[in-house]
Chains A and B, each alone.
Chain A
Amino acid sequence: MRRGSPFVYAALCGYSLLIVFPLIWLVYTSLKSTPEIFKSAWALPESPRWENFSAAWSGMSGEPGLGPYFWNSCTLTILSVFLILAIGAMATYALTRFPFRGAQFLMNTFVSGMVFPIFLAVVPLFLLLNQTRIPGIAPKGFVDHYAGLVAVYVAYSLPFTVFVLSGFFRALPNELSEAASIDGAGRWQTFARVMLPLARPGLIVAGVFNVIGIWNEYPLALVLITDRSRYTLPLGLAQITQRQQYSVDFGALFAALLLVLLPTMAIYLIFQRQVSEGLMAGAVKG
């Protein structure tokens, strides 16, 4: 390790401060009362107002809180990422380990999805989900229906997921699956018990990346969810922010923003390496 020039260090520290200080400010402002916030942007809270957080979670002055949206987002994210990994791994396994005619074409078709802008498809997608009706499951169509949003999330996450996983599946040795089949394991067993565990590092990169992506997703949810009770966290936060501009409790609003940020912060702290890997993988293809 060597020391850089003081100028370089000053610049690095300066920019880091620009990233970190707004977050520190957010943390201590979330513990202030609204009059305190109005009085001085810099001052620390006189005494921490923890009730800001309960107001943010369970609602303030007749407004809904973030609590229900938080659980909605949890359900959607867990369900979607589980399906993305399962379906993505299955497709990638087929395309990389069984070199049938057309496999490369299908792989390219999947991966090319990484460059399509979502907004090009958003109107037809909305109309498609709105008009697809299945009696018993979705009599009014798949808008405002989590099955619809989950399916859309899975479909739009497949290009990246297949791309990332293909690198890992290609690197797996042939001998292991052969050994497994000699030992009498069926095809599905070989896939699930032998090959999937070996591709675990890839599944973690894809999983972390998709969890963050879906937890944060806004435009598709905005278009496909109109019923307030089904809002995701980003939709809920956006709505509360836009309404609260004319309202009173800014302390609670800061607390709400912090609550939204905390899970991603935690994931980033644990999986920082996988996040950079995922970002790089997505970038270099493009």
Chain B
Amino acid sequence: MFFSRIEKVVLGLTVFVAAFFVLPPTAEAMHIMEGYLPIGYCLAWGAVALPFVVIGVIRLRKTIQENRRALILLAMSGAFIFVISSLKIPSVTGSCSHMTGTGLSTILFGVTSTSVLGVIVLVFQAILLAHGGLTTLGANTFSMAIAGPLVTLLLFKAGKALKLNKLVNVFVAVSLGDLFTYCVTAFQLALAHPSETGGVLASLVKFLLVFAPTQIPLTIVEGFLTVLIVIGMESFAKQELAASSYGKVI
């Protein structure tokens, strides 16, 4: 045997990561900008997102009342979204973008609770940073705090059912959920801005090519960071973690 197990893992990971830098350079975006969705779409996405947020508020209150110990994990996953979504990371395309950070709270508290945390961050960024927007709040909430987390949760549950290694499961579920967020953002933009020649579909392909490939390194980083914080929680907050949906049997 030439390599030890760890060396093999490291080698595999580096090859995996290196592969993404070969992707063609494109532009990108994160949230949909203020005023870039026609008002009908703003209202429609808001209407889709609202039930999730309302249920989320109810569920969060219930979680806190029933299990005070969950509060510390909740605070941490909320703070995690704050940190992660404020870090602008350079991409190979020559511009900056940032991650969502919603994966952690999804695997700990589920989709609806996550949507509430997501709204808080989005409002903060829309008002103070002119990043994202109040008119596009519904659409951005849907992509970042509902659609992405839904994928994360489904993948995480599937991984649990398949008895996948927990940390690998977290990485895969969070990364792909994050990637899906951008796909949804692309879809939302395409729907509102269909291409003159090819309609919504051509527009979607174009937006997808703009968003997805350059976000892939970022989704990997987000996966890594989430795994790191989960390792920390497993070491120091095992009981709280066991009580959250992370520890529950499917």
A, B: real partners: no
